[in-house]
């Protein structure tokens, strides 16, 4: 499920030339970073003026280009002290061959770190990711500006599953099909709005492949979050619990085991977390059954493994052994 990305020489010449002009000198070395779930380039470029990390997408892949624009706006507005790379610039260039297409390029500081150890999961690195989620949530963002309220978007997947009952549900644990109405009730829009509201910064896509482990103060290792297109304003527990399905799906401990090891902050209502688990379960199940979006053929399998991690988590939170 890992993407092999195109490289620096694969970029059209006029895009390379524009990037060289922007960084202020010829590119003397480059590294392409594979992985992730969106099409396009992810490159560390070296030049006489230093190093820079750039992401490039063609508007041929509308979702990827939109996310780059979105990331530029939100990364530039992050509060001081957020554990994230500094944002530098965005530029858009016309496509040399298709008048209806363009190239979107965004740049940020390079983070010199390593990927979290996940094969197998290093529990110390998992602790660093959970600490990262907590440090992000310590920052509050205003209710006006570029960070939308997470609670303003109601996830419809639970209600849709209960109404549609797609045939693909038969490929999942039968408990799910037997409890669709119950899940839809838990994930009702008004309950989402109550559970997810808050003033806290939320990365909203925090997982191991969106973080790097760096040397912090006193040479103590800590995590830094990258890739910020989905950042929103919401409840403080959303990042910490949002990463748990993929942790379990990739061989890490089950969500409730993680929460026993690293409890949520004071004031977090268990019912609010259960609403979030129901929303995630329905989202990953329903999207896993859809056709893949253009340019991202492997994302449905990634959603599938998270759905399979969410279903027993929801069942446990509902204390349902039947």
Is residue 86 within 8 A of residue 51, CB to CB? The reply is no
Report the C-alpha gap between 19 and 311 in whole angstroms.
Answer: 45
pLDDT for the residue numbered 36: 65
Report the C-alpha gap between 226 and 212 in whole angstroms.
Answer: 8
pTM attached to this predicted model:
0.93
**Look-up: residue for tokens 């329903």?**
286
pLDDT for the residue numbered 279: 98
All domains of the chain in start order, with CATH:
8-108 (3.30.200.20), 123-317 (3.90.1200.10)
Per residue of the chain (322 residues), what is the pLDDT tens digit?
Answer: 456 789 999 999 999 999 999 999 999 999 999 876 667 999 999 999 999 999 999 999 999 999 999 999 999 999 999 999 999 999 999 998 899 999 999 999 999 999 999 999 999 999 999 999 999 999 999 998 999 999 999 999 999 999 999 999 999 999 999 999 999 999 999 999 999 999 999 999 999 999 999 998 888 999 999 999 999 999 999 999 999 999 999 999 999 999 999 999 888 999 999 999 999 999 999 999 999 887 778 899 999 999 999 999 999 999 864 4
Which of 4, 36, 1, 44 is closest to 211 using CA atoms?
36
pLDDT for the residue numbered 198: 97
pLDDT for the residue numbered 265: 83
Report the C-alpha gap between 37 and 40 in whole angstroms.
Answer: 10
Which of 76, 63, 145 is closest to 107 using CA atoms?
76
Report the C-alpha gap between 43 and 52 in whole angstroms.
Answer: 8
Phi-psi region of 227 (alpha: psi -120 to 50; beta: other; left: phi over 0): left
The three-state DSSP-derived secondary structure of the chain is CCCCCCCHHHCCHHHHHHHHHHHCCCEEEEEECCCCCCCCEEEEEEECCEEEEEEEEECCCHHHHHHHHHHHHHHHCCCCCCCCCCEEEEEEEECCCCCCCEEEEEEECCCCCECCCECCECHHHHHHHHHHHHHHHCCECCCCCCCCEHHHCCCCHHHHHHHHCCHHHHHCCHHHHHCHHHHHHHCCHHHHHHHHCCCEEECCCCCHHHEEEEECHHHCEEEEECCCCCCEEECCCHHHHHCHHHHHHCCCCCHHHHHHHCCCCCCCCHHHHHHHHHHHHHHHHHHHCCCCCCCCCCHHHHHHHHHHHHHHHHHHHCCCCC
């Amino acid at each position: 499920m890992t993407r092999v990305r195109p490289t620096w020489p694969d970029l059209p010449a006029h895009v390379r030339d524009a990037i060289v002009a922007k960084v202020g000198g010829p590119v003397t070395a480059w590294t392409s970073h594979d992985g992730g779930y969106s099409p396009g380039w992810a490159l560390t470029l070296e030049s006489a003026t230093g190093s820079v990390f750039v992401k490039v997408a063609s508007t041929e892949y509308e979702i990827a280009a939109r996310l780059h624009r979105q990331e530029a706006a939100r990364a530039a507005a992050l509060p001081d002290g957020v554990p994230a790379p500094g944002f530098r610039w965005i530029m858009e260039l016309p496509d040399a061959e298709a008048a209806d297409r363009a190239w979107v390029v965004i740049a940020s500081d390079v983070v010199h770190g390593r990927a979290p150890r996940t094969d197998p999961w290093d529990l110390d690195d998992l602790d660093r990711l959970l600490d990262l989620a907590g440090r992000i949530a310590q920052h509050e963002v205003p209710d006006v500006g570029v960070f939308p309220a997470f609670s303003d978007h109601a996830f419809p997947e639970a209600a849709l599953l209960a109404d549609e009952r797609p045939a693909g549900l038969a490929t999942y644990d039968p408990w799910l099909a037997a409890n669709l109405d119950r899940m839809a009730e838990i994930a009702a829009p008004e309950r989402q709005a109550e559970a997810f509201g808050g003033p806290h910064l939320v990365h909203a896509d925090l997982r191991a492949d969106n973080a790097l482990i760096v040397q912090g103060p006193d040479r103590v290792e800590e995590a830094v979050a990258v890739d910020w297109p989905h950042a929103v304003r919401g409840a403080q527990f959303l990042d910490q619990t949002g990463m748990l399905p993929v942790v379990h799906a990739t061989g890490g401990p089950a969500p409730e085991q993680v929460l026993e090891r690293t409890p949520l902050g004071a004031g977090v209502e268990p019912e609010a977390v259960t609403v979030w688990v129901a929303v995630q379960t329905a989202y990953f199940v329903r999207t896993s059954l859809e056709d893949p979006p253009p340019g991202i053929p492997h994302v449905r399998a990634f959603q599938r493994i998270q759905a399979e991690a969410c279903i027993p988590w929801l069942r446990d939170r509902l204390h349902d052994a039947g």
